[in-house]
Amino acid sequence: MLYFISLFCSPLALLLAGRPFQAVLNGLVWFASLFGLVFMLLPGLLLWGIGVAHAFAVINARAADRRAERLARALHDR
């Protein structure tokens, strides 16, 4: 679900993922991409892609952290 949200509003997806600082940084890129889409199409698309790729990477890292934590907890409970 977060991946889908990040396609349209990547800062919101990062906030929902619990990464507020990265959401602020991504928000700067996102707003610049909106400005670029209005005035210059290609740079706007490039910035939008960078913002979405960053959001995907952060969301994927969050999922990997959760999997590793679950595995460590299962190994510790043995």
pTM for the full model?
Answer: 0.84
Q: Tell me whether residue 1 is in a domain.
A: no
Instruction: Provide the pLDDT for residue 39.
Output: 84
7 pLDDT band, cuts 50/70/90, is very high
Q: Can you give the residue range of the structural domain that contains 52?
A: 8-76
CB atoms within 10 A of CB 74: 9
Q: Tell me whether residue 61 is in a domain.
A: yes
- Mean pLDDT for all residues in the chain: 92
42 pLDDT band, cuts 50/70/90, is confident
Q: Name the domain count of the chain.
A: 1
Cα(66)–Cα(73) distance, rounded to whole angstroms? Answer: 10
